[in-house]
Amino acid sequence: MCGRFVAASPPAEIAAYFDVDQVSDATLDPNYNVAPTRDVYVVYADGGTRRLDPLRWGLIPSWAKDMAIGNRMINARAETVASKPAFKSSFARRRCIIPADGFYEWRQIAGQKRKQPYFIHRPDGEPYAFGGLWAEWRGTDAAGEPVTVRSTTIITCAANSRMAELHDRMPVILPAAAWDEWLDPEDHDVDRLGRFLVPAPPELIEFHPVSTDVNNVRNGGAQLIEALDTSSS
């Protein structure tokens, strides 16, 4: 799964990298510890326009009675994304890219009670393009006022050989050659699109241990991705 990631790049930089046409006026602060239910930048096509907007992480299907269901929909499994009711409509019509500067995973260390967190990133320093879905939900907030919420989820697949050293799942990472087809809202061929839902090449994965400070979602600074000194352990 993918439960925490890093989103620290400026929106203008993200927009240029993903060839975005329109950037939202709403901006997000750099966050090195993005947690579920937070807003995250998402690249998606709205009509003929490629947009970069903040969306809520945790997909809320259009048919949901309330927003709470999104808390459990932060990831969508590649194996069932085309058939699971919460995701199949979005997979067919509302696919997106979630830019990430890296993500975290935890591994059990022999003889220790707490798991060791690791920061995973590309060796070349470029951002990951996580394959994702988005949805639009209309309902009411806690005060009974009408609201419209756009939300997103990250698709996960089986881990590649490098990622398997930490976990048996990983985010779907889309190559640049797939972006246009993936983001095309007029392309509903889910069988053909399914070919993108595969593990990324192992050479895109590099990782190092980091401080357990990342376990606390209130911590969000750049120090979280610094390599932990394990020389004395």
How many percent of the chain have pLDDT more than 70?
A: 98
**Burial class of residue 176, CB neighbours in 10 A (0-12, 13-18, 19+):** exposed
Return d(Cα 173, Cα 168) in angstroms, integer: 15
Residue 229 has pLDDT above 90, yes or no: no
Residue-level pLDDT at 48: 85
Residue-level pLDDT at 1: 67
**Burial class of residue 42, CB neighbours in 10 A (0-12, 13-18, 19+):** buried
Please tell me the least confidently modeled range out of 138-147, 174-183, 190-199.
Answer: 138-147
Sheet with 5-7, side-by-side order of all strands: 31-34, 5-7, 102-107, 116-121, 206-209
Mean pLDDT of 194-203: 98
| Catalytic hit among 2, 165, 203, 206 | 2
- pLDDT tens-digit series, residues 51-98: 999 999 999 999 999 899 999 999 999 999 999 999 999 999 999 999
Q: Give the residue carrying structure tokens 């997103």.
A: 152
226 among known catalytic residues: no
Return d(Cα 115, Cα 215) in angstroms, integer: 10
| Catalytic hit among 13, 79, 96, 105 | 105
Tokens standing for residue 97: 């890219």
Count CA within 13 A, CB hemisphere, residue 222: 4
Cβ neighbours around 34 below 10 Å, total: 24
Return d(Cα 175, Cα 130) in angstroms, integer: 9
Is the pLDDT higher at 142 or at 156? 156
Residue-level pLDDT at 25: 94
Q: Give me the amino acid identity at 110.
A: A
Return d(Cα 163, Cα 106) in angstroms, integer: 11
Query: Taking the C-alpha atoms of 84, 86, 92 and 98 in order, what is their torsion angle to the nearest 10 degrees?
Result: -110
Classify residue 13 by its DSSP letter: H
Mean model confidence pLDDT for the chain: 95
Residue 152 has pLDDT above 70, yes or no: yes
* Residues pairing with 98 in the sheet: 130
157 among known catalytic residues: no
Residue-level pLDDT at 231: 63
Return d(Cα 52, Cα 98) in angstroms, integer: 10
Residue-level pLDDT at 140: 86
Is domain 5-225 annotated with CATH 3.90.1680.10? yes
Residue 33 has pLDDT above 90, yes or no: yes
- pLDDT tens-digit series, residues 95-117: 999 999 999 999 988 878 889 99
Query: What is the SS3 assignment for 91?
Result: helix
